[in-house]
Structure 1
Amino acid sequence: MNTLVKFSLKELDLALQSNKNEQIFDDLRQVSRNLGIFYLVDHFVDELLIEELFELSKQFFALPLEQKEEIAMIKSPQFRGYSKEGGEYTAGSKDYREQIDLGTDKKPLKWDLNSPLYKRLEGSNLYPKAFPRLKELFLSYQAQTNKAAITLLKAFSKALELEDDAFDKLYGQNTYEHYKIIRYPAAFDNNTQGVGAHKDGGLITFVLQHEEAGLQGLINGIWQDIPPVKNSFVVNIGEFLEMATNGYLKATIHRVNLSAKQRFSIAYFLGVQLDKDIPIFKLKEKYAKDAKGVDTDPKNPLLRNVAQNYFKRMIRSHPDVAKVHHSDLIEKFSFA
């Protein structure tokens, strides 16, 4: 199976409510196991909200660099805020994109060097003063995408024949949700890496693409274009879902290539409660026999503790921010 398919969240939700249409859950399981990536349509996220969010992001990225850096990530211990082109790394190489990183907006917790790691990660977003509307739009978008993601997780419970509340132990009061509002420049000087090849953290990722192509998934060993489909999300299986199913579901390796024109995108990563370890679900034997464990790189191992895994990723992605705010963790989470 190499062709990407579309799933309607509306149909999945109706099937969950009626306990009927087993075929749609079987299809969801097969696609998520074999490809790890698909389109999601009829997702209940307001199309006008999406368009306004894209329009406002274009206006922000058109500002002079000095104004954008008023909310520079270097100011945030929680890795929130703006980073310029080349300001983030994947597998040691620069990603040529600029972006605003946002998360679950909460009052920062007090912590010291002996505190549990998760306490360092709860905090406030940095919003640009020039665009006060952005906060209102983001919070609406966050609420709608979270509702869609939770519905999809319930569909995964059904598809894997787990208990209806199987995922309740993974998300809840201090679940970390991560968002990126992104602009990729047009290709320049032989630079083509918008984002290097990687798997996403978290349970699932929703990616909105605005007109320009560039996203590719590594499907059965072949890089395949994942072109934009209007008013749809590209859904990627994340590393935590791969871990929770002991490798039965596979997190998708993907990348973004720079194209001839600038490109805009919004990514949403549904995470897990920051103070938890990822459990391994007890799958039925017909699925468990195909769960062969998680694909992992010794130089970039997956860690079951959520906060540790997050810091490992962010310290590598944003070493400048880590050096300022979390220098005590740099050596601990270096596996090279």
Structure 2
Amino acid sequence: MLRSVALLLVLGSASAFLPTLIEKLWTEDSAEGFSGVARIPFKDLLSGNVYVDPFILQSMKKFGFFYVVDVPEYNATVELDYLKRFFELPEEQKDDLAIKKHNAANPNAYRGFCPGVDDVDSTLQFKDVFNIGPHETRGQRGDASKKSPLENMRYEVQEPNVWPETGNFTFDAGFKTTFQAGFEIRRNIGRAFVKSVARALNMPKLPELFVDDEFSAMGLRRYLQRNEINSNMYSDYDNVLLRELEHVDSTVTVLSTFNNGGLQMLHNNKYQEAPVTGDNAFIVNIGKLVDDIIDNHLTNVRHRVAEVNFTRYSITYFLGPQFDAPIDKSMTGEPTEAGRKYSIFGEWVRDYLGAIELFYY
């Protein structure tokens, strides 16, 4: 049925290009692999072209993710070069950007450099991360004593970014410009995906929950190559050696793996290798918290990173609802899992930040 709807939409708007379009967006998948995952052109997604909606919906239902391709004015090679050069900076220069528990001069708890964990027994967090958010400056707080705890938390999550100041103006300016632009591209993809889902599922109020994104985040990640292996690094699911444990995301994810293999998605009860994003594409998937809001119509895919014999780089962007977005009920009024504990997204963020501080410190 979904495929019929998709074909009718395409026939109505681009019949002359139908064979090429279908082959590009949606190829038949085999029992193994992900050849059937949708590949959606960036311009069509961002312009709100409704012909992409059934393709996205089908791919998200069946596989839990899709690709956004043909992204203009985006160069993954440039991003990867700056990412590597940042992590290769002297430790004292990276420490200048470290979050507050590592560097008291940086008041941020989250935006900035989060050094990797040195403990070999740690599996999930054996990586370095540089977190970037949507804010360059922080607004006026006023009298904190006269504000509610949630009002104060709204202020806290609007942490301004910190950027490298290495003395190399070309690098510093290029790094900041490149990742500010990359942040906007990913945020626009995340919002356009939400609008596509809202159209496909007839949930017109869904995009209203994402008008603001006080706590959206883009993480530049370096998964360090391990020198030791222990039993904690093996999957409980199938005993495969892992670089990052199996997990399900919470919000909307836009992921760049560049040409690094290792990412695996659970499909048909088997972890299978996801094709890399390459030069100008992104993987998009949805997390449990957001899927609950849309009555679990999609698949919040379980995924992991298998162990590889090289230092691995990726960039992960997360788009969450705005701070005061209700998350206790779905779009049809059904109670959500998050609603057992939280009324609005800001309450969830409060606990999330607390968990980060407990983990790192």
User: Does the TM-score normalized on the shorter chain lie above 0.5?
Assistant: yes
SS at match of 1:58: helix
Q: Name the counterpart of 2:172.
A: 132
Tell me, yes or no, if structure 1 residue 60 matches structure 2 residue 86: yes
Which residue is 1:100 aligned to?
130
- Aligned-pair CA distance for 1:79: 0.9
**What aligned pairs does 1:140-155 form with structure 2 within 5 A after superposition?**
140-155=181-196
Residues 61-116 of structure 1 show CA distances to partners (whole Å, capped at 9, x for unaligned) of: 1123232111112334441111122279xxx8541111101111141553468431
* 1:310 alignment partner in structure 2: 349
Q: Does 1:36 align with 2:64?
A: yes
Cross-structure match for 1:6: 38
Partner of 1:160: 201
Instruction: Provide the residue aligned with 2:149 in structure 1.
Output: 115
Output the TM-score relative to the length of structure 2. 0.72
**Separation in 2, partners of 1:172, 1:38:** 23
Count of aligned pairs between the two proteins: 299
Q: Aligned residue for 1:27?
A: 55
Structure 2: state its 5+ residue gaps.
1-28, 234-240
Q: Is 2:264 the counterpart of 1:224?
A: no
CA contact (8 A) 1:241 1:249 kept: no
Q: Distance in 1 between matches of 2:177 and 2:98?
A: 20
Deviations 1:13-32 (A, max 9, x none): 48844x5x4xx422322221
Answering whether residue 111 of structure 2 is matched by residue 86 of structure 1, we say no
Secondary structure of the 1:312 match is helix
Deviation, structure 1 residue 53: 2.0
Asked if the contact 1:109/1:120 (under 8 Å) is kept, the reply is no
**How much is the aligned-residue C-alpha RMSD, in angstroms?**
3.1
Q: Which residue of 1 aligns with 2:296?
A: 247
Structure with larger Rg:
2
**Deviation at 1:237?**
0.9
- Counterparts of 1:190-201 in structure 2, within 5 Å, are 190=229, 193-201=242-250
SS at match of 2:255: strand
Partner of 1:180: 219
Counterpart CA distance in 2 for 1:310 and 1:195 is 23
SS at match of 1:316: helix
Q: Please give the per-residue CA displacement for 1:178-223, whole angstroms capped at 9, x wherever unaligned.
A: 1000111224311555332222222x21110122212122223322
Mapped partners of 1:15, 1:71: distance in 2: 37
SS of equivalent to 1:71: coil
1-structure distance, mates of 2:257, 2:318: 15
Counterpart CA distance in 1 for 2:63 and 2:213 is 30
Tell me which moved more, 102-111 or 255-264: 102-111
Candidates 260, 277, 281, aligned match of 1:212 = 260
Q: Which residue of 2 aligns with 1:280?
A: 330
Asked if structure 1 preserves the Cα contact closer than 8 Å seen for 2:292 and 2:337, the reply is no
- Residue 47 in structure 1 maps to residue 74 in structure 2: yes
Give yes or no for the alignment of 1:264 onto 2:313: yes
Which residue type is aligned with residue 115 of structure 1? P
